[in-house]
């Protein structure tokens, strides 16, 4: 079976660009080999459970893409089942660009970047927002976050692809830096104590 993300991403214009630049033959073989990658795997579920942010892309009625960062406590993006992701949508700057775009077109994209481990995951799909289902809102709420939840966004997975780690700079979160500093201080104290004994 063909990899499903290539059906979405490799439009006729993309295939023409590949042919013009000499990579079409390689990608034609790539399209026909490997898994479909249209369901959430255990590895992806584990990856998603650890992330504290991602980028959500939607398309406006004028054809322009709109990208917005969504962040929260690790685990705020939840795997509902092997084809569905969901997250609580908090009250923000009340521009409602994402909501407006989803009212017009359900095509959406999730881009997850893990700088620490140099991993990035691209997920194509269709999204919708749900505002009146209190049970669903409570199911997707994170206990550690008391932010006001206005709605939930459900994302139906159509295809995914891991991107290569080339050119991803390694970055650490503030929490990771704090933990590393604490460990360095601990080791410096141990070294100092040892030197004092000698």
Read off the pTM: 0.86
3-state secondary structure 19-59: HHHCCHHHHHHHHHCCCCCCCCCHHHHHHHHHCCEEEEEEE
- Kindly give the confidence (pLDDT) of every residue in the chain, 198 residues in length, as a single tens digit, with 9 standing for 90 and above: 568 899 999 999 999 999 999 999 998 888 887 788 999 999 999 999 999 999 999 999 999 999 999 988 899 999 999 999 999 998 778 899 999 999 999 999 999 999 888 999 999 999 999 998 989 988 998 888 888 888 999 999 999 999 878 888 888 888 888 989 999 999 988 888 777 776
- Please choose, from the candidates 192, 153, 160, the residue with its C-alpha nearest in 3D space to the C-alpha of residue 37: 160
Please give the backbone phi and psi of residue 120, each rounded to the nearest 5 degrees, phi first: -140, 140
Radius of gyration of the chain (CA): 21
Strand partners, 79: 85
Cβ-based neighbour number of residue 114 at 10 Å: 18
Residue 124, burial from CB neighbour count under 10 angstroms (0-12, 13-18, 19+): buried
Host H or E run for residue 186: helix 174-197
Residue 160, burial from CB neighbour count under 10 angstroms (0-12, 13-18, 19+): buried
- Please choose, from the candidates 113, 118, 123, the residue with its C-alpha nearest in 3D space to the C-alpha of residue 86: 123
């Amino acid at each position: 079976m063909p990899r499903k993300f290539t059906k979405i991403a490799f439009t006729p214009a993309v295939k023409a660009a590949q042919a013009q630049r000499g990579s079409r033959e390689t990608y034609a073989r790539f399209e026909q080999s490997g898994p479909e990658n249209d369901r959430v795997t255990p590895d992806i579920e584990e990856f998603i459970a650890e992330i504290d942010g991602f980028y959500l892309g939607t398309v406006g009625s004028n054809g322009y893409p709109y990208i917005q960062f969504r962040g929260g406590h690790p685990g705020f993006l939840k795997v509902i089942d092997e084809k569905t992701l969901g997250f609580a949508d908090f009250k923000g700057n009340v521009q409602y660009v994402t909501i407006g775009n989803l009212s017009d077109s359900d095509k959406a994209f999730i881009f997850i970047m893990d700088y620490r481990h140099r991993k990035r995951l691209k997920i194509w799909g269709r999204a919708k927002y749900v505002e009146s289902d209190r049970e669903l809102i409570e199911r997707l709420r994170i206990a550690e976050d008391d932010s006001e939840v206005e709605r939930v966004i459900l994302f139906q997975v159509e295809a995914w692809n891991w991107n290569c780690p080339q050119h991803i700079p390694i970055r650490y979160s503030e929490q990771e830096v704090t933990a590393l500093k604490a460990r360095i201080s601990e080791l410096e104290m141990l070294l100092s104590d040892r030197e004092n004994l000698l």
